Chain A
Amino acid sequence: MTFQQPKLNTSPKVSDEVRQTTCYMCACRCGINVHMKDGKVAYIEGNRDHPVNKGVLCAKGSAGIMQVNAPSRLRAPLKRVGPRGSGEFEEITWDEALDIATGLLKPIRENNPEKLAFFTGRDQSQSFTGFWAQNFGTPNFAAHGGFCSVNMATAGIYTMGGAFWEFGQPDWDHTKLFMLFGVAEDHDSNPIKAGIGKIKARGAKVIGVNPVRSGYNAVADEWVGITPGSDGLFILSLVHELMKAGKIDLHYLAQYTNAPVLVDAETGLLMRDENGKELVIDRTTGKLTPFDQKGVQPDLSAQYRHAGTTHKTVMHLLAEKYLDPQYAPEAVAERTGVTADKIKTIAADLARVAFDEAFELDQEWTDFRGETHKTMTGRPVSMHAMRGISAHSNGFQTCRALHVLQIILGTVEVPGGFRFKPPYPKPYTAHPKPHCGVQPNSALDGPHLGFVQGPDDLMLKEDGSPARIDKAFTWENPMSAHGLMHMVISNAHAGDPYKIDTLFMYMANMSWNSSMNSGGVMQMLTDTDENGDYVIPNIIYSDAYSSEMVAYADLVLPDTTYLERHDCISLLDRPICEADAAADAIRWPVVEPDRDVRGFQTVLVQLANKLGMPGFTNKDGSAKYQDYADYIVNHQRKPGIGPLAGFRGENADQVGRGDVNPDQLDRYIENGGFFVEHIPDGANYYKPWNASYQDWAVGMGIYDAPEPYLFQLYSEPVRSFQRAAEGHGDRQPPEHLRDRLKAVMDPLPIWYPALEDNGVDLDEFPIHALTQRPMAMYHSWGTQNAWLRQLHGHNPLYLPTKLWEQHGFADGDWARVTSTHGEITVPVAHQAALNDNTVWTWNAIGKRKGTWALSEDAPESNKGFLLNHLIHELLPPKGDGLRWSNSDPITGQAAWFDLRVKIEKADAPAESQPAFAPIKSPVAQGPSELKWKVGK
Chain B
Amino acid sequence: MTTLPTSTDRKLGLVIDLDTCVGCHACVISCKGWNTENYGAPLSDQRPYGTEPMGTFLNRVHSYEVQPEAGPAQTVHFPKSCLHCEDAPCVTVCPTGASYKRVEDGIVLVNEDSCIGCGLCAWACPYGARELDQAEGVMKKCTLCVDRIYNENLPEEDQIPSCVRTCPAGARHFGDLGDPNSDVSQLVDSRGGFDLMPEMGTKPVNKYLPPRLKDSWDDQSLLAPLLEPVAEEPKGFLSWLDKTLDKIPGGAS
Question: Residues on A close to B: CB < 8 A?
Answer: 1-6, 8-14, 37, 42-46, 48, 53, 55-63, 65, 71, 185, 189-190, 193-194, 196-198, 200-201, 213-223, 225, 241-247, 250-251, 254, 283-284, 286, 297, 299-301, 315-316, 319-320, 323, 341-342, 344-349, 351-352, 775-776, 786-791, 793, 801, 831-834, 853-855, 857-859, 862, 925-935
Task: Give A788's nearest chain B residue, CB to CB.
Answer: B29
Contact A1 B237 (CB under 8 A): no
- A residues in contact with B87, CB < 8 Å: none
Report the minimum CB–CB distance from A912 to chain B (whole Å): 14
Of B48, B153, B166, which contacts A12 at CB under 8 A? Answer: B153
Q: A323 is contacted by which of B50, B147, B234 (Cβ under 8 Å)? A: B234
Which 8 residue pairs spanning A and B have beta carbons closest together?
A: A926-B49, A832-B73, A245-B227, A193-B168, A197-B170, A786-B48, A218-B75, A10-B150
Judge whether B217 and A3 touch: CB under 8 Å: no
Asked whether, in the complex, the Cβ of A930 is within 8 Å of the Cβ of B48, the reply is yes
Q: Are B103 and A5 in contact (CB under 8 A)?
A: yes
Once the chains bind, are A218 and B23 in contact (CB under 8 Å)? yes
Determine if A48 and B157 form an interchain contact, defined as CB atoms under 8 angstroms apart: yes
Q: Which residue of B lies closest to A775 (CB)?
A: B24
In the complex, chain B residues whose CB is within 8 Å of the CB of A221? 212-216
Residue of A at shortest CB range from B51?
A857
Contact across chains for A250 and B48 when beta carbons are under 8 A apart: no
Please tell me if the beta carbons of A300 and B241 are within 8 angstroms of each other in the complex. yes
Q: CA A320 – CA B238 in complex, angstroms? A: 9
Q: A57-B26, A250-B241 are known contacts. Are A319 and B227 too (CB-CB below 8 A)?
A: no
Question: Chain A residue with minimal CB distance to B1?
Answer: A1
B225 near A790 with CB under 8 A, answer: no
Contacts of A834 in B (CB 8 A): 73
Residue B224 CB within 8 A of the other chain = yes
The digit string for B1-25, where 1 denotes a CB below 8 A from any CB of A, is: 1111100000000000101111111
Residue B196 at the chain A interface, CB threshold 8 Å: no
Nearest-neighbor residue (CB-CB) of B47 within chain A? A928
Tell me the bound Cα distance from A74 to B252 in angstroms.
72
B51 lies within 8 A of A858 (CB):
yes
A49 → chain B, closest Cβ, in Å? Answer: 11
Q: Chain B, 56-91, contact with A by CB distance < 8 Å: what is the 0/1 string? A: 010000010101000011111100000000000000
B233 contacts across to A, CB distance below 8 A: 323
Interface residues of B, dominant DSSP: loop
Can you list 15 pairs linking A and B with CB atoms under 8 Å apart? A2-B3, A4-B97, A197-B168, A218-B75, A241-B227, A284-B250, A320-B234, A341-B223, A342-B217, A833-B73, A857-B51, A858-B50, A862-B51, A930-B44, A934-B37
Query: Does A219 lie within 8 Å of B231, measured CB to CB?
Result: no
Residue pair A244, B25 in contact (C-beta under 8 Å): no
- Which one of B32, B74, B149, B153 lies within 8 Å of A218 (CB-CB)? B74
Q: B229 and A926: CB pair below 8 A? A: no
Q: Closest approach, in angstroms, between the C-beta of B226 and any C-beta of chain A?
A: 5
Tell me which residues from 196 to 253 in chain B have a Cβ below 8 Å from any Cβ of chain A: 211-218, 220, 223-234, 237-238, 240-242, 244-245, 248, 250-252
Residues on A with C-beta less than 8 A from B44 are 929-931
- Contact check, B168 vs A53: say whether CB atoms are below 8 A apart: yes
Judge whether B227 and A344 touch: CB under 8 Å. yes
The one of B5, B47, B165, B223 that contacts A45, using a Cβ cutoff of 8 Å: B165
A784 to chain B, nearest CB (A): 8
Cα–Cα, bound, A245→B241 (Å): 11
Q: Known contacts A189-B168, A250-B244, A283-B252; decide if A347 and B151 are in contact (CB<8 Å).
A: no
Measured between beta carbons, the chain B residues less than 8 angstroms from A42 are 37
* B154 touches A (CB below 8 Å): yes
Q: List residues of B (159-184) whose CB comes within 8 Å of A's CBs.
A: 162, 165-171
Among B53, B57, B103, B158, contact of A793 (Cβ-Cβ < 8 Å): B53
Quick check: A245 and B230 within 8 Å, CB to CB?
yes
Which A residues are CB-close (under 8 A) to B171? 197
Separation of A1 and B98 alpha carbons in the complex (Å)? 11
Nearest chain B CB to A783 CB, angstrom units: 10
Structural contact, B55 and A930, CB atoms closer than 8 A: yes
Q: Determine whether the beta carbon of B241 is less than 8 Å from that of A315.
A: yes
Distance in Å: Cβ of A721 to nearest Cβ of chain B: 26
B217 touches A222 (CB 8 A): yes
How long is the Cα–Cα vector from A299 to B246 in the complex, in angstroms?
10
Known contacts A12-B153, A56-B26, A787-B55; decide if A244 and B229 are in contact (CB<8 Å): yes
B210 CB to closest chain A CB (Å) equals 12
Q: Which residues of A contact B29 (CB under 8 A)?
A: 59-60, 62-63, 776, 787-788, 791
Which of B67, B97, B111, B170 counts the most chain A CB atoms within 10 A? B170
Known: A12-B38, A244-B230, A345-B223. A194 touches B169 (CB 8 A): yes
Q: Which residues of A contact B53 (CB under 8 A)?
A: 786, 789-790, 793
Are B42 and A931 interface neighbours, CB within 8 A? yes
Identity of the chain A residue whose Cβ is nearest the Cβ of B166 in the assembled complex: A57
A6: B residues at CB distance < 8 A: 100, 111, 113
CA distance A202 to B76 in the complex (A): 21
Nearest CB of B to A178, in Å: 13
Does chain A have a CB within 8 A of B186?
Answer: no
Per the bound structure, the CA–CA distance linking A315 and B245 in Å amounts to: 13
Q: Is there an interface contact between B162 and A854, defined as CB atoms closer than 8 Å? A: no
A215 to B24, CA, bound (A): 7
| CB–CB B23/A45 < 8 A | no
B128 touches A (CB below 8 Å) = no
A776–B25 CA distance with the chains assembled, in angstroms: 6
Q: What separation, in Å, do the CA atoms of A71 and B50 have in the docked complex?
A: 12
Name the one of B46, B214, B220 contacting A222, with C-beta atoms under 8 angstroms. B214
In the bound complex, what is the Cα–Cα distance between A219 and B75 (angstroms)? 8
List, in ascending order, chain A residues with CB within 8 A of B72's CB.
Answer: 213, 223, 225, 833
Neighbour of A833 across the interface among B51, B65, B167, B168, CB < 8 A? B65
A contact residues around B49 at 8 Å (CB): 71, 786, 853-855, 858, 925-927
Q: Which residue of B lies closest to A201 (CB)?
A: B170
Min CB gap A214→B, angstroms: 6
Pairwise interchain contact A214-B24, C-beta atoms closer than 8 A: no
Chain B residues near A58 (CB-CB < 8 A): 24, 26, 168
B28 on the interface (CB 8 Å rule)?
Answer: yes
Bound together, the chains give a CA A222 to CA B213 distance in angstroms of 9
Query: Closest chain B residue to A792 by CB distance?
Result: B25
Interface assignment of B34: CB less than 8 Å from any CB of chain A: yes
Which of B5, B20, B135, B248 contacts A200, CB < 8 Å?
A: B20
In the complex the two chains form, what is the Cα distance from A858 to B4 in whole Å?
A: 44
Which of chain A's residues have a CB closer than 8 A to the CB of B42? Answer: 931-933
Residues of A within 8 A of B250 (CB): 283-284, 297
Q: How far is the CB of A353 from chain B (nearest CB, A)?
A: 10
Other A-B pairs, 16, CB within 8 Å; known A323-B231, A787-B32: A3-B5, A3-B100, A43-B38, A197-B20, A200-B20, A218-B75, A219-B19, A244-B227, A323-B232, A323-B233, A341-B220, A344-B227, A790-B54, A855-B49, A859-B52, A933-B37
Give the complex CA separation of A196 and B54 in angstroms.
Answer: 32
Contact A59 B28 (CB under 8 A): yes
Q: How far does the alpha carbon of A351 sit from the alpha carbon of B228 in the complex, in Å?
A: 11
Contacts of B212 in A (CB 8 A): 200, 221
Check B41 for interface membership: any CB of A closer than 8 A. Answer: yes
What is the CA–CA distance of A8 and B105 in the complex, to the nearest angstrom? 13
Chain A residues, Cβ within 8 Å of B75: 213-214, 217-218, 833
| A71–B47 alpha-carbon span in the complex (Å) | 13
Q: Which residues of A contact B231 (CB under 8 A)?
A: 244, 246, 323
* Minimum distance in angstroms from B62 CB to a CB of chain A: 11
Task: Give CA–CA (A408, B104) in the complex, Å.
Answer: 59
State the Cβ distance, A325 to closest chain B Cβ, in Å.
9
Contact present for A927 and B21 (CB under 8 Å): no
The yes or no answer to B146 lying at the interface (CB within 8 A) is yes
Q: Given that A1-B97, A347-B227 are contacting pairs, would A56 and B33 also be in contact in the complex, using a CB cutoff of 8 Å?
A: no
* A926 in contact with B153 (CB, 8 Å): no
Q: How far is the CA of A244 from the CA of B229 in the complex (A)?
A: 5
B77 partner residues in chain A, CB cutoff 8 A: 218
Shortest CB-to-CB span from B87 to chain A, Å, is: 14
Instruction: Tell me how far the C-beta of B36 lies from the nearest C-beta in chain A, rounded to whole angstroms.
Output: 6
Given known pairs A787-B32, A832-B67, A859-B52, the reply for A219 and B22 (CB within 8 Å) is: yes
